[in-house]
Structure 1
Amino acid sequence: MKLDVSTHKLFGYGSTLRTAKRLTEEAVRVVGRSVAGRMPDVKVVLTGERNLAEVATAAEWETAGCTDKRVQSRALRNAKRLARDTAGRVIPLADGGVLIVINVDQHPNEATFAITVVHELVHAMQTSRKDVRERLIAGLRHDLGVEKQSRRWDREHERCLEAEEKEAYGREYLASRVVPSAAA
């Protein structure tokens, strides 16, 4: 398991990057012990609200194999609309790892950052489970119009996403082990 923490178009955030590296390394250990699955290679990118959408959609396009410029621009517009309320996102990568994009504007202190990192790392662990990665990639391909799925498959996919989200929210209490002041 490799862990890489970096920034995208953030200048003057050196101390934030160092803190994020320290907290992420500890969160990987805590989540790895507590959640079923195997931690994949994780790349964490810290960025602002303006650049969150472009980093996330670029990774989604690469994973889904989307080359249609009209579809890409529509997906980018939708992602920009949702970026203000997004604290973090997990995108499965084509090479088997995951990309975690975190909006630094949503995290005023270490405690809120720890909660988000733990939440997103739980999602990363879920991608190592049987058939989850394939389903997520098929969902990306469906959403981008590369390969359409049936309505029945789409409903089942939504149910699985809700269950995974519920599990991730249920494990946010682990952030208190990463930062004692992060009582979720």
Structure 2
Amino acid sequence: MKLDISTHKLFGYRSTLRTAKRLTEEAVRVVDRSVAGRMPDLRVVLTSERNFAEVSTAAEWETAGCTDKRTQSRSLRAAKKLARETAARAVPLNDGGVLIVVNVDQHPNEATFALTLVHELVHAMQTSRKGVRERLIAGLRHDLGVERLSRRQSRELDRLFEADEKEAYGAEHLAGRLVPAAAA
């Protein structure tokens, strides 16, 4: 498993990057031991609210194979509206890895960052399970209009997505092992 932590258009956040590296390395160990699956190669990108949508949608387009400019601009506009409320996002990549994009504006301290990081690492672990990566990519392709799914398949994806979210929220208690303040 490879781990790459970087920033995107984020200046003056060197101490935040050091903290993120330290917490991410420890969080990977904790989540890898506690959650079923195998940790894939990870790319963690720290960025601001302004650039969050740009980074995450670019990865989604590449994964889904979306080349339609109109669809890309529509999805970018929708992502920009949600970027203000979104703390982080895990996107499966074509090479088998996972990109985790973190909005640093949503994390005022280490405890909230650890909580978000554990949540997204659980999602990364879920992609290593049988059929999950294909399901996530099919959902991306459906959302971007590349390949439509039937209503039944779409409802099934939504149901499984909710189950994945429930598991990730249930594992957030692991953040208390990284930063004691996150347990409160």
Q: TM-score interval w.r.t. the shorter chain? A: over 0.9
Could you state the TM-score of these two structures normalised by the residue count of structure 1? 0.99
- Cα shift readout 1:53-92 (whole Å, capped 9, x = no counterpart): 0000000000000000000000000000100000000000
CA distance in 2, matches of 1:150, 1:178: 42
CA distance in 1, matches of 2:119, 2:35: 11
CA distance in 2, matches of 1:43, 1:127: 14
- Cα shift readout 1:131-182 (whole Å, capped 9, x = no counterpart): 0000000000000000001000000000000000000000000000011111
Provide the aligned length of Structure 1 versus Structure 2.
Answer: 184
Aligned to 2:127: 127
Tell me the C-alpha RMSD between the 2 structures. Answer: 0.5
- Cα shift readout 1:18-50 (whole Å, capped 9, x = no counterpart): 000000000000000000000000000000001
Specify the SS of the correspondent of 1:101. Answer: strand
CA distance in 2, matches of 1:170, 1:139: 23
Aligned to 2:90: 90
CA distance in 2, matches of 1:94, 1:143: 17
Aligned to 1:29: 29
Gaps of 5+ in 2: none
Aligned to 2:158: 158
CA distance in 1, matches of 2:117, 2:102: 8
1:70 to 2:64 alignment: no
Gaps of 5+ in 1: none
Specify the SS of the correspondent of 1:181. Answer: helix
Alignment of 1:1-184 (within 5 A): 1-183=1-183
